[in-house]
């Protein structure tokens, strides 16, 4: 079951497009010409905040979290990148160091693209930079939306919103049936929603009691997306 028609997730600007959708076949071939695919285990770091970027990464499979670590070691997850998305290109384009770190949420496969190759495609394909502008502008909207969520929403609303967004990201994995299984730890959920891990557990218990979801150990299975949307308090 898609969210379209139930929760206007696109209209509310919580999702971004796979970069592959904005690439023509030629551009894509050019981009991955000197590719080197690498596998990452769950928890492996792809790049660290402050490092100088040498290129960008295309997520071939798996899920990557982008996050910033606090002065007291607290982690805030900024974004979860899914299969088909590019990561690290903002820093390359802005000619800055990485403003955040990236690591694998689950076993993932990434394709490294040297920044020279990336710039070559940008320079040689005028259409590409326009589509990139469009994609970046949309991503900007998504992030701005997130700021308002943090400023205006309660802990339970933020968790509900995080679950809705994650459900979209996880729905293409595995199971073909209605129930979508989120393979993510309580701690990562807490670091996405910006709340304490213990409260994630308590809130998940509430959601479970309301029939929104089921849990089996670490597994979270979203059962009733409509109720979840109601919990998020959107309209």
Partner DNA sequence: ATAAAAAACTGATAAATATCGTGTTATGGG
Partner DNA sequence: CCCATAACACGATATTTATCAGTTTTTTAT
Q: Tokens 């996405």 belong to which residue?
A: 192
CB of 174 to a copy of itself, least distance (A): 29
Asked if 217 is part of the footprint of DNA (rule: CB under 7 A), the reply reads yes
CB of 36 to DNA, least distance (A): 25
Exposed / middle / buried, residue 92 (Cβ in 10 Å: 0-12, 13-18, 19+) = buried
Asked if 113 is part of the footprint of a copy of itself (rule: CB under 8 A), the reply reads no
> Rounded to whole angstroms, how far apart are CA atoms 140 and 19?
14
* Stretch near a copy of itself under the rule CB under 8 A, chosen from 34-42, 56-64, 93-101, 103-111: 93-101
Asked if 199 is part of the footprint of DNA (rule: CB under 7 A), the reply reads yes
Q: Which of DNA, a copy of itself, none has residue 217 at its interface (CB below 5 to 8 Å by kind)?
A: DNA
Asked if 45 is part of the footprint of DNA (rule: CB under 7 A), the reply reads no
For 119, residues 6+ apart whose C-beta sits below 8 A from its C-beta are none
Residue 73, φ and ψ in degrees, nearest 5: 90, 0
21/137 with CB nearer a copy of itself: 137
Asked if 90 is part of the footprint of DNA (rule: CB under 7 A), the reply reads no
DSSP string, 152-203: H--HHHHHHHHHHHHHHHHTTSS--SS-EEE---HHHHHHHHTS-HHHHHHH
* Stretch near a copy of itself under the rule CB under 8 A, chosen from 29-37, 102-110, 138-146, 211-219: 138-146
Q: Which of a copy of itself, DNA, none has residue 187 at its interface (CB below 5 to 8 Å by kind)?
A: DNA
Tokens of 72: 């007291």
CB of 224 to a copy of itself, least distance (A): 21
Tokens of 40: 């990452």
CB of 149 to DNA, least distance (A): 12
* Stretch near DNA under the rule CB under 7 A, chosen from 8-16, 85-93, 152-160, 170-178: 152-160
Query: Per-residue b/e over 99-130, b at no fewer than 16 CB within 10 Å?
Result: ebbbbbbbebebbbbbbebbeebbeebeebee
- Which residue in 18, 109, 129, 185 binds DNA (CB under 7 A)? 185
Q: Which of DNA, a copy of itself, none has residue 76 at its interface (CB below 5 to 8 Å by kind)?
A: a copy of itself
Query: Per-residue b/e over 40-79, b at no fewer than 16 CB within 10 Å?
Result: beeeeebbeeeeebebbbbbbebbbbbbeeeeeeebebbb
Q: Which positions lie near a copy of itself, rule CB under 8 A?
A: 13, 66, 68, 70-71, 74, 76, 78-79, 89-96, 99-100, 122-123, 126, 129-130, 132-134, 136-141, 143-148, 150-152, 191, 194, 233-235
């Amino acid at each position: 079951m898609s969210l379209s028609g139930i929760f206007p997730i696109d209209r509310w600007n919580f999702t971004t497009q796979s970069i592959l959708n904005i690439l023509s076949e030629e551009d894509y071939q050019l981009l991955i010409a000197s590719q080197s695919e690498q596998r990452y285990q769950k928890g492996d770091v792809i790049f660290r905040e402050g490092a100088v970027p040498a290129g960008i990464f295309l997520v071939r499979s798996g899920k990557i979290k982008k996050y910033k670590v606090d002065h007291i070691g607290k982690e805030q997850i900024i974004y979860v990148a899914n299969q088909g998305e590019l990561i690290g290109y903002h820093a390359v384009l802005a000619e800055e160091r990485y403003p955040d770190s990236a690591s694998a949420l689950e076993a993932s496969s990434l394709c490294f693209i040297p920044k020279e190759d990336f710039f070559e495609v940008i320079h040689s394909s005028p259409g590409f930079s326009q589509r990139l502008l469009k994609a970046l502008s949309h991503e900007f909207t998504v992030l701005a939306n997130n700021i308002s969520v943090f400023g205006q929403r309660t802990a339970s609303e933020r968790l509900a919103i995080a679950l809705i967004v994650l459900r979209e990201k996880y729905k293409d994995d595995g199971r073909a049936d209605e129930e979508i299984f989120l393979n993510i730890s309580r701690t990562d959920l807490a670091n996405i929603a910006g709340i304490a891990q213990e409260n994630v557990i308590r809130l998940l218990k509430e959601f479970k009691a309301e029939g929104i979801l089921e849990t089996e150990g670490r597994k979270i299975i979203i059962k009733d997306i409509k109720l979840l949307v109601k919990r998020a308090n959107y309209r």
